Chains A and B, each alone.
Chain A
Amino acid sequence: MAESGQFLIDGKPTPFRAGQTIMQAAAEAGHYIPHLCYRPEFPPHGSCKLCSVKANGRFTSACFEPVTEGMKVESETDEIQGYRKRVVQMLFAEGNHYCAFCEKSGNCQLQAVAYHLGMEDTHYAHQYPQRKLDASHPDAMIDHDRCILCELCVRASRDLDRKEVFGVAGRGLQARLVVNSPSGLLGDSNFALTDAAAHVCPVGAILPKRQAFTTPIGMRRYDKHDIGEESSLTPIADKGE
C-alpha cells in the first residue's frame, strides 16, 4: 500500500496517510466532522454516530472507517447534516438536558454541536428518565440526567488512569453509566479529580464541584466560537475547560 494518497471530502481533494481513518485525515486537513464520543487519544468507539458520513455511497462512521485511495466521502450534504441533527435531537430527548440552568452550558459539546447543526427543537418526544444524581464524591459529581453514553470516561479511566472506575450496565434505553464500587457511588471508588476521566466528559455529566461559575456564562468556550472552528486533533491535556 502507498504511504499516502488522496481522497475527496465533499468533492474537495484531501491528502491522507496510509492507515488513517476519515476522521483523522479530515482533522489534519482542518475539516471538521461533528463528533461526541471521539477523541484523538483513544481508539475509535463509534457509538454517538454524529460522525456518520457516506463513504463511496455507503453509510459509515468517520471515526473508524479507514480511508482508501480516491474514496469519495460525503459529509456536509443536506441528507447527512439532517441525519446528524436528528441524532443530536435523540440525545436531547433521551436524557434530561436543561441548558438554561446547566452549569456546563457554554462549555458543553452537545449544546455546541446542536448549535452548529442549527437545532431549534428536540423534535422527538422527551423520555424524561428518572435518574439519580451522585454527589457522594468530595470533589466531583455525576449528573446521570446528562450522560450521553459516549464512554469517554470509561475509556479514560481504563486506558489513561489505569483505574477502571466506570462501566456501562443495562441495555437499550436502560443502558447507564455505572461506577466500579460496591455501593455504586463515585465517593466509594478511587476516582480523583486529577484523573483524566474527570476531564473528558463532553457534557455536564461528570463535573468538578465548586467550580460551576468560575467562568461566567457568556465568556465560555462555545460562547466565543462555533465548535466547527476547533481542531479535532488536540488531546485532552491541552484543551482545558
Chain B
Amino acid sequence: MPQSSSLERVLTRISARYRDEPYQLLQMLRAVQASYSHVPQSAMQFLARHLGVPLSQVQGVVEFYAFLHETPRGRYDVRFSDNITDQMLGSRGLCERLCQHLELTPGQPRADGKVTVDYTSCTGMSDQGPAALVNGLAVTRLDVGRIDEMADLIDAGIALEAWPRDWFAVRDHIRRSGPMLDLQMAPGAALEAAVARGASSTLAELARSGLRGRGGAGYLTAHKWRFCLEAPGMERFIVCNADEGEPGTFKDRVLLTRYADALFEGMALAGFVVGAREGFLYLRGEYEYLLPHLESVLERRREEGLLGGNLLGSRVGFDISIHLGAGAYICGEESALIESLEGKRGQARVRPPFPAIRGYADKPTVVNNVQTFIQAAQISAMGSAWFAEQGTEKSRGTVLLSISGDVARRGVYEYPFGVTVKEVLADCGAGAVQAIQIGGPSGHLIGAADFERRIAFEDLPTTGSLMVFDWSRDVVGVVQNFSRFFQHESCGFCTPCRVGTTVLRQLIDKVASGHASAADLDELEACGMVTRSLSHCGLGQTAPNPVLDGLKRFRPVLEAKLLGGTDGPGFDLDAELSEARKISDESLKEGQHG
C-alpha cells in the first residue's frame, strides 16, 4: 500500500491530467492501476471525494472492468488470450508451463508480488496466436521457447522495454484486398469533397451508397447520421466504436494500424455532416499498444489542418480524443460504450431513445464502427457509385473477414458481399472443415450443409469474425468456450442474461464432462430461448447462439457425450451420495473406536 500523502499527490496529478472531469473516471482508474498494479481502497475514496461522485460508483466501476483490480497484481501482469483459436494453438499448455516455471497459480499473484499469470477474453490476435497481454501490451506468436525465455526475463526482473522487440510485433496479414483496402486516399480528400459538395449533398451521397454499419447490426449509416442531425439540441458528438471485442475478430486492429487517417477523416466527415465539434475514439484496452501510433496520426492531422479548431482553414472545428476500455466485451454495444465513455459501468441503456437522439452526455451522438467511418470517407471521396458497384442489392460494397482457426492462411480477407462460405474456405486454405463460427460467438456455428450460403446482411451477417474448425476439433469444446465467454462478459444487469448465461455454462460443462442426460439438452434449449428472447441487450440476446446452433446443427455430437446414451440418468448417483457416505463412514469409524 502506497504512503497516503504520496498516493494523494499521484492521484491529484492523475486527476488533473484528465481535467478533474468525472466522465474521465475510467481513464483515471486505468492510470491508477498502471501505477500501483491495483486500485487501492484509499484511491477509490480519494477520487470519489475529489471528483464529487459516490464511492459506490467508483467501486462499481473498478469491479466492472476486468483490467482493474482491488488487490495488487504482480508487477508483471501476464494474461493469456483464452479464445478457442488461442487454445487450438496450445495456449493453455503454454500458460501452465509459464505458471510451473514461475511457481504460481493462475489468477493469484506470486507471494513476492512480482508476477501474476491469468487468462483473459480474446485479445484480437487470432491470426497470430497464441497471444497474451503483458502489462497491457500485446505479445504474439507464443511458443515454448518464448515462454521459457519469458519466465527467465520475469525472474531476472528485466524491464519490458528490454524484452525482445519481435515478441511485440503485430503483423497485418492482409491476404486478399479489394476496393476498400486498395484505395489510396490522400489525407483531406474526403473532407474537401464534402465541403465542396455541402453537408446535405454529402449525406444524400452516403444514402445513395447504401452503406450499412459494419459493426454487426447493419443499420443504414445515412439514416443514423440523419437522425442525429435532425435531433433537437445544440451540441452533438461523434463516437467511433473501436472496442473490437468479438472473439476471433481483428480486422479493426488492421484498419487502425493501416487506415487511421481515413478513419479520423470519416469521423471528421460525420462531424461536418451532423454539426458535431467533438469526437471520441473508444479503443479497446487490449489495443493499448496502438495508442502512440494513433495519437501521432491525430497530432499530424492537427498540424495539417485536418483536425482541430480550423478544419480545412475554415472556422469549423472538430477534434478527436481517444478513450481506452478496460476489458469489457459489453462495451461494444453502443449504449454501453457511451456509459463507459462517461466513466461509468458499461451497461446497455434503455432504448429508445437511441444514441442518435440521446447519446454521450445525453446529446445526439453518432456511434459507428471503425470500418463504417473509413467507408464513409471513401464514399465521400470516390462517390456512391464507386462503392455500390460491388456487393448485393441489400448489402452494398465489400466485407472484411478476420479468418482464423484451422486454415493455412490466417488473416484479413476482403470480399464483395454475397460471397459464399465455400469460396472463402477454399481461398484461405481450409481443409476437412467440420464447422465454422461466423460473426464470432454472437454469430452462428454452421456446418457443411450451410457452406453454400452467402455472406451478406440478408443471409449470413457477420461482424467479420470467421473461425474454422476441422474434424480433429470437438464441437462441444467450441460451444463450451463461447458459453464461458458470455458468462464471463455478462454485465449482470438483467435477470435472463445474468442467470441464463450461468445456467447455460453449467449445463454445457455437464455435457462436456460426460455427465449430462437428454433432459439436460432440452433444458439447454429452453434456457437458451428464455435468454435469447428476454435479455436486455445484444449480448444476452446472442449469448445462447453457440448452444442453440450446436443443438440445431451438431446434435449427434452433443448426444454422443450423454451419460448412458439418450435415455440415461441426469445425475451421477455415486457422486451425489459420496458426501453422505463419507460422513456415515466416518461416524462408523468413530463408533468402532468408541
Contact = CB atoms under 8 A, between A and B. Distances in A.
Interface string B464-504: 00000000000000000000000111111111101111110
B503 A175 contact: no
Contacts of B530: 83, 86-87, 90
B444 interface: no
Contacts of B491: 171-172, 175
Contacts of B529: 83
A83 B492 contact: no
Given A83-B530, A87-B534, A173 B498 contact: yes
Contacts of A44: 350
Contact of A94 (B62, B63, B489, B499): B499
B219 to A, nearest CB: 16
Q: Is the interface of B mostly helix, strand, loop or mixed?
A: helix
Nearest to B496: A49
A8 to B, nearest CB: 20
Interface in A137-176: 148-149, 164, 166-175
B57 interface: yes
A4 to B, nearest CB: 20
B536 A47 contact: yes
B392 interface: no
A83 B533 contact: yes
A59 B533 contact: yes
B382 to A, nearest CB: 37
B490 A172 contact: yes
A168 B59 CA distance: 8
A18 B567 CA distance: 55
Given A49-B535, A59-B534, A168-B60, A91 B350 contact: no
Interface stretch (A24-32, A179-187, A218-226, A228-236): A179-187
B257 interface: no
B424 interface: no
A44 B351 CA distance: 11
A24 to B, nearest CB: 14
Nearest to A125: B506
A45 B503 CA distance: 24
A64 B350 CA distance: 7
Given A83-B533, A87-B530, A125-B503, A172 B492 contact: yes
B161 to A, nearest CB: 33
A93 interface: yes
Nearest to A175: B492
Contacts of A178: 56, 59-60
A49 B534 contact: yes
Given A173-B498, A175-B498, A52 B490 contact: no
Interface residues of A, number: 42
B54 interface: yes
Contacts of A49: 494-496, 534-536
Contact of B54 (A45, A172, A180): A180
A127 interface: yes
Interface residues of B, number: 39
Contacts of A127: 502
A172 B535 CA distance: 13
B56 A166 contact: yes
Contacts of A164: 54, 56-57
Interface string A56-68: 0001010010100
Given A47-B536, A87-B530, A125-B503, A169 B59 contact: yes
Contacts of A128: none
A115 interface: no
A149 B56 contact: no
A171 B64 contact: yes
B26 to A, nearest CB: 14
B45 A182 contact: yes
Contact of A170 (B64, B494, B500, B535): B64
Interface string B344-355: 010000101000
Given A91-B499, A169-B56, A170-B63, A52 B534 contact: yes
B55 interface: yes
Contacts of A166: 56
A97 to B, nearest CB: 13
Contact of B495 (A48, A59, A170): A48
Contacts of B59: 167, 169, 178, 184
Contacts of A168: 56, 60, 345, 492
A174 B536 contact: no
Max count, chain B CB within 10 A of own CB: residue among A48, A90, A171, A178? A171
Contact of A90 (B55, B60, B503, B506): B503
Interface in A100-115: none
Contacts of B527: 86, 124
B492 A90 contact: no
A46 B494 contact: yes
A87 B490 CA distance: 16
B500 A90 contact: yes
Interface in A11-57: 43-50, 52
Nearest to B487: A172
B326 to A, nearest CB: 12
A48 B492 CA distance: 11
Contact of B498 (A50, A94, A169, A182): A94
Contact of A83 (B487, B501, B534, B536): B534
A48 B494 contact: yes
A177 to B, nearest CB: 9
B542 to A, nearest CB: 14
A195 B352 CA distance: 31
Contacts of B328: 171
Most chain A CB neighbours (cut-off 10 Å) among B64, B489, B493: B493
Nearest to A167: B56
Contacts of A180: 54-57
Nearest to A52: B534
A169 B60 contact: yes
Interface in B56-72: 56-57, 59-60, 62-64
A177 B251 CA distance: 38
Q: Which of B490, B492, B500, B527 has the most CB of A within 10 A?
A: B492
Contact of A46 (B54, B62, B350): B350
B49 to A, nearest CB: 10
B41 to A, nearest CB: 8
A48 B497 CA distance: 10
B498 A172 contact: yes
A45 B349 CA distance: 9
Contacts of B54: 164, 167, 180
A33 to B, nearest CB: 14
A47 B534 contact: no
B561 to A, nearest CB: 19
Contacts of B345: 168, 171
Nearest to B492: A175
Contact of A182 (B55, B350, B490, B536): B55
A-B pairs, top 7 by smallest CB distance, nearest first, are: A167-B56, A175-B492, A90-B499, A180-B56, A169-B63, A169-B60, A164-B54
27 contacts: A45-B350, A47-B493, A48-B494, A49-B494, A59-B533, A64-B350, A90-B503, A90-B530, A94-B498, A124-B527, A127-B502, A167-B54, A167-B59, A168-B56, A169-B56, A169-B59, A169-B62, A171-B63, A171-B490, A172-B487, A172-B490, A172-B501, A173-B498, A178-B59, A180-B55, A180-B56, A180-B57
Interface of B: 45, 54-57, 59-60, 62-64, 328, 345, 350, 352, 487-496, 498-503, 506, 526-527, 529-530, 533-536
